[in-house]
Structure 1
Amino acid sequence: MIFFKLDSIICDTPARAFVKNVKSHNGYFGCDKCAQQGEYLSSRMTFPLDTCSIRTDESFAQKHNEEHHQGPDPFQGLNVGMVSQFPGHYMHIVCLGVVRKLLNIWLSGALRFRLPASIFNRMSDCLTGLRSYIPLEYARKPRTLREIDRWKATELRMFLLYIGPVILPSYLDTNIYQHFMLLFSSIAILVSPTLSSLHWQYAETLLRMFVTHFGQIYGKEALVYNVHSLVHLAQDVRLHGCLDNISAFPYENHLQKLKKLVRKPEHPLAQMLRRFSEQNTQQNKIPDRTSVSLKKPHFVGPVPNELASRRVKGQYSQMVSDQWTIKVSTGDNIFVIAGDIGRIHNIVECHDGIYLVNRRFSNKSVFFTYPFSSDFLNIYSVSQLSEQYLSAKACAVAHKCVLFPHRGGFVSMPIQHSVKH
């Protein structure tokens, strides 16, 4: 017998309403986190209030708000928290919901918010120009804004957490940009396993500010379900941990692995089981696998004098570990090493360990100051790469970073989202 405890049920908004047998998000009492009665404006259901009585597992079980329920509780008797164990799904609410809505407003919304065609084209060129700077943790590279309707959730997440804060100051009004930064800053906190546990209340305050200003800037009719749901995200993080703990991104990413296991349309499940069995057999034959592998040997990289005396065994262009992949090529060679931001130029294996040959950026300053200083998220403007080659053991690496060109220098941002999918 196998005993397990249900932690959370992750599904998008329509599926959550169907599974719980409650009103849909476009109904008058469609919010499954609070009892706010929606307001029908401009042919859409809106939720203009950011404070309302919060639903609890007990109030749901006792049906305090009868208008919210469509019928009997399907989970009755199973000891499942019908509110607490159904967290908001940030892949759909934030990425596919609010971020896409903002982009569509700027690109094709009302004339007072719409960007001119010249800026639209410049933004698209800027996005495609950043393709070489994207680390391999992102399988999808930036596409033009003309393809916004085909952007996947990972592309929208990349725009929110990395690209948007860097490129938008050049194209948006200051107030609009600062409003976007409220969303970026709060989600950056909630997606971090460390910061989310310490500062979820601060993130909740920022999200409430974002929702309030959203209605003031874009109108009350823009306060649809996805925008309103932002005010409840922090409470879900308080209960379940960072946003990646309650995200469908791992499932979506794993689908591509499952698809590759299927060779023909007949009996797909049997095919996947056979491939898994073959993989397990191969792994059992190699009991001495290490967590670090060195790839692409070469003989032309820089080797500082202190390493030459350590009896060099080999030089490599790529190192793969359980945490990340390190390369000497653009996009995967920027890391925080001993508190400094450095660019990796060589990977050297010596008899006493693996060393990273790197050069550090001499100038480091905060990148933004609103709604707080960027050093809180370890985001910096950097410039002037030192000419001196230094060496550091691979275990000294603290974070992998994304480095984007910006106004004659660069912006360094640690990878915020979980990459262990």
Structure 2
Amino acid sequence: MKKSFIRKVKRLTHQTLLISRNNVTEEHNITDLSVYDQNAEKTLDSYSNETIEALPTSERSSIASEWISIPSNVLENASLPGPSQSDSLSFQEEIKLWAVKNQITHKAVEELLTILRKQPGLDGIPKSARSFLSTVREVKTRVVSPGTYCHLGIEKVLSDFFRMHKLIPPENLEIAVNIDGLPLSKSSGSQVYPILGVILNLNITVQNVVLIGLYHGFQKPHDANEFLLDFVNDVINVSKNSLKIGDRLVTFKLKFFLFDAPAKSYLLKVKSHSGYSSCTKCCQEGIYLEDRVCFPDIDSMKRTNETFRNQSDENYHLGFTILQNIDYIDLVEDVPLDYMHLVLLGVTKKLLVGTWIFGKPPHNLPASLIKNMNLLIKQIAVYVPSEFPRKSRSLLESKRWKATEFRLFLLYTGVVILKPFLTREKYDHFKCLFVSITILVSFSLTNLYDYAEKLLIYFVQQTQNIYGRHYMSHNFHNLIHLTDCARRFGALDKFSNFSSENFLQILKRLVRKGDKPLEQIMKRLSEGFLVSKSSKSENWYLQHEKNISPLLPYPQFLKLVLPTFTLNAGYKRDNCCGLKDGTVSLVFGFSNKKNLTVALVKKFQSKCNFFETPCNSSILDVHFVKNLCKKFVIVNIEEISQKYVRLPHEDGFVVFPMLHTVGYLSK
């Protein structure tokens, strides 16, 4: 009875953990390739990379035999999901993992423990949920007026991180630090200010954000220096004395800060972004136009770490920041501009929402055009890949769009949607923003940074000419400084706030009631730290076994899951890829046999530039494709170089390289 009960509970636990990955809610739209003779006895054990036409079974004997070898690290049970986090856990640890991942309340856990303790051999399980989950009993805090603060410590949280993910820390550990406010309630002023560390130099895709310290109060801390005191002293200490993580000593460096504009003003004790002399990168004073401070000049003297620490510009500084005690930090260059707030929620939102959709004449669009744009957005939405957590919503909801929705619009759908509706001048102006930000986001176009900088300067100048000088607010002005940040730190996603903002939402979900939220968060985190979690698998695997075509050997699958993207022949949003020979293809299925994995594809015969100004779109790997070949090709999966975002346009499709990995697409 005991064994039967344990097997039943384990099965239910596994089903709970895997249900979101195995649940398919949409109907497959794959063309049925199994219309050929299904009674054929012949098994195709080998194929060539030459073009194979979908011939009747009787005519397939002429297919050539030539495989391309690939590494033999193929999962044996390829139809199963990737390795479960609970594979190596004991029965009690599985229950802990289930309780933590699903945020089961202590009351519900204790009810389950009561049931388990009645079973023979399980009477040794603790009665209390706190004992069972190893919840900390006391949270040490100190008063930071007008609230309380808890400092976990850099060495402790990093040690927990590498132990939890079973990773070996690099010899030189680098982190970025994000600090931002998070309201906990709409009905009160309850809020937290977490100090988050983003681990930078990891060679594996995991959630790389850790909580270093946390403040809670009904107002933000009155004195930012008092709030940062423990953190700054901790950084200075571990930077000088190294970190001990497990049995390894590693050097530590705080590489840069991730602040939005209000946080910069508060923590650096400088002018707010709405004031005169408020640019963090140059000394331009600004002028007052139409109820706002604007920065119309392109060339101004740049700020330096020396002028910041000496407070040379009295109109910029409001006081001394304790962050200056970290002597190796450049408080100008090492506080980069965040493109999530600056470009997406700033410039893109201003153009789309504040100008074209809900703006004033003469730049707003007529209601009839907006209606037609919404119809086009609806048609395009079904082609948005599954890696994007938010699909395109109606423009009437654009005031409520999140940053990822503006990113989707700017980097993918916008140049297709806007083409029929904007004037040529405004459309070419938007393309300048699209091209320059695409270059800065891409990891492979760093050689074009100088061009992106010139294009952004041109975009800013044209903004004044088209929409007026009053558009030159803090966000538009700072576009001219954005390329300098990319030169120093790399592609924009390497220093964006996306991962930090995602983690803030995780923290918010840990609060179950209004009383003592700081203690609640710390206790929930202590429970999670004590549950063994494996890191995300870096292997690829196949899923969704299905009979697709006699052209492929068995077993056959619809889905290929790679570390950075997923291809799914069952959905038109996920079936477009690029091959190493430069062709754009649609996948129709996958097969794995004898440690060799292939894909069945059709290639587009026509590929050309989607636009030619301000540059050829092919430079960005953006193409207009049409005329899908009628012949199938079987290729080794090593020939797949990337996934494309495929959007319908006229009699073909516009394809964009997917610029973000799965780890960057949350929120």
Give yes or no for TM over 0.5: yes
Q: 1:28 aligns with which of 276, 281, 295?
A: 276
Q: Which residue of 2 aligns with 1:226?
A: 475
Q: Which residue of 1 aligns with 2:576?
A: 334
Separation in 2 of the partners of 1:26 and 1:148? 24
Q: Which residue of 1 aligns with 2:588?
A: 345
Structure with the largest fraction of helix: 1
Q: 2:351 aligns with which of 96, 102, 109?
A: 102
SS at match of 1:361: strand
**CA distance 1:254–1:385, shift in 2 (3 Å):** farther
Q: Which residue of 1 aligns with 2:394?
A: 144
Q: Which residue of 2 aligns with 1:179?
A: 429
Separation in 2 of the partners of 1:380 and 1:201? 23
- Is 1:416 matched with 2:664? no
1:22-421 to structure 2, matched below 5 A, reads 22-79=270-327, 80-103=329-352, 104-195=354-445, 197-255=446-504, 262=510, 264-265=512-513, 267-280=520-533, 283=534, 291-299=539-547, 301-304=548-551, 307-308=552-553, 312=554, 314-328=555-569, 329-338=571-580, 339-421=582-664
Instruction: Please tell me whether the aligned partners of residues 346 and 357 of structure 1 are also in contact (alpha carbons under 8 angstroms).
Output: yes
Separation in 1 of the partners of 2:594 and 2:502? 38
1:98-126, Cα deviation, whole Å (9 max, x unpaired):
00000120112231111111001111121
Q: Which moved more, 1:262-271 or 1:358-367?
A: 262-271
Separation in 2 of the partners of 1:419 and 1:369? 30
Q: Which residue of 1 aligns with 2:265?
A: 17
Separation in 2 of the partners of 1:319 and 1:237? 33
Instruction: Please tell me whether the aligned partners of residues 22 and 71 of structure 1 are also in contact (alpha carbons under 8 angstroms).
Output: yes
Instruction: Please tell me whether the aligned partners of residues 89 and 248 of structure 1 are also in contact (alpha carbons under 8 angstroms).
Output: yes
How far apart are 1:205 and its partner, in Å?
Answer: 0.4
1:152-179, Cα deviation, whole Å (9 max, x unpaired):
0000010000001112110000000000
SS at match of 2:258: coil
Instruction: Please tell me whether the aligned partners of residues 38 and 48 of structure 1 are also in contact (alpha carbons under 8 angstroms).
Output: yes
Q: Which residue of 2 aligns with 1:7?
A: 255
Instruction: Please tell me whether the aligned partners of residues 538 and 563 of structure 2 are also in contact (alpha carbons under 8 angstroms).
Output: no
Q: Relative contact order: is structure 1 or structure 2 higher (C-alpha 8 Å, sep ≥ 6)?
A: 2
**CA distance 1:276–1:256, shift in 2 (3 Å):** farther
Q: Which moved more, 1:52-61 or 1:177-186?
A: 52-61
Letter in 2 for 1:191: V
How far apart are 1:130 and its partner, in Å?
Answer: 1.5
Separation in 2 of the partners of 1:131 and 1:100? 19
Instruction: Please tell me whether the aligned partners of residues 34 and 54 of structure 1 are also in contact (alpha carbons under 8 angstroms).
Output: yes
Instruction: Please tell me whether the aligned partners of residues 345 and 403 of structure 2 are also in contact (alpha carbons under 8 angstroms).
Output: yes
1:168-205, Cα deviation, whole Å (9 max, x unpaired):
1100000000000010000000001121x312111110
1:52-108, Cα deviation, whole Å (9 max, x unpaired):
001111121122212110011322231211101000010000000000000120112
Separation in 2 of the partners of 1:326 and 1:253? 25
Instruction: Please tell me whether the aligned partners of residues 191 and 243 of structure 1 are also in contact (alpha carbons under 8 angstroms).
Output: yes
SS at match of 1:187: helix
Instruction: Please tell me whether the aligned partners of residues 21 and 74 of structure 1 are also in contact (alpha carbons under 8 angstroms).
Output: no
Separation in 2 of the partners of 1:323 and 1:353? 21
Instruction: Please tell me whether the aligned partners of residues 302 and 357 of structure 1 are also in contact (alpha carbons under 8 angstroms).
Output: no
Letter in 1 for 2:549: P
SS at match of 1:275: helix
Letter in 2 for 1:181: K
**CA distance 1:9–1:303, shift in 2 (3 Å):** farther
**CA distance 1:237–1:418, shift in 2 (3 Å):** farther
SS at match of 1:8: strand
TM-score (norm 1): 0.93
How far apart are 1:255 and its partner, in Å?
Answer: 4.5
Instruction: Please tell me whether the aligned partners of residues 292 and 320 of structure 1 are also in contact (alpha carbons under 8 angstroms).
Output: yes
Letter in 2 for 1:53: M
Separation in 2 of the partners of 1:393 and 1:323? 18
Separation in 2 of the partners of 1:136 and 1:420? 13
- Which ranges in structure 1 are unaligned for 5 or more consecutive residues? none
How far apart are 1:276 and its partner, in Å?
Answer: 4.6
Letter in 1 for 2:545: P
**CA distance 1:256–1:60, shift in 2 (3 Å):** closer
1:282-301, Cα deviation, whole Å (9 max, x unpaired):
x39x9xx67112211112x1
SS at match of 2:255: coil
How far apart are 1:132 and its partner, in Å?
Answer: 1.1
**CA distance 1:324–1:55, shift in 2 (3 Å):** same
How far apart are 1:279 and its partner, in Å?
Answer: 4.3
Separation in 1 of the partners of 2:450 and 2:538? 40
SS at match of 1:211: helix
Letter in 1 for 2:308: F
**CA distance 1:128–1:350, shift in 2 (3 Å):** same
Separation in 1 of the partners of 2:529 and 2:568? 30
Percent identical pairs in the alignment equals 34
1:204-252, Cα deviation, whole Å (9 max, x unpaired):
1000000000011111111100000100000000111110011011222
TM-score (norm 2): 0.59
- Which ranges in structure 2 are unaligned for 5 or more consecutive residues? 1-241, 244-250
How far apart are 1:394 and its partner, in Å?
Answer: 1.6
How far apart are 1:303 and its partner, in Å?
Answer: 4.3
Letter in 1 for 2:525: M
Separation in 2 of the partners of 1:249 and 1:397? 28
Separation in 2 of the partners of 1:6 and 1:15? 18
RMSD of equivalent CA atoms: 1.8
Separation in 2 of the partners of 1:257 and 1:303? 46
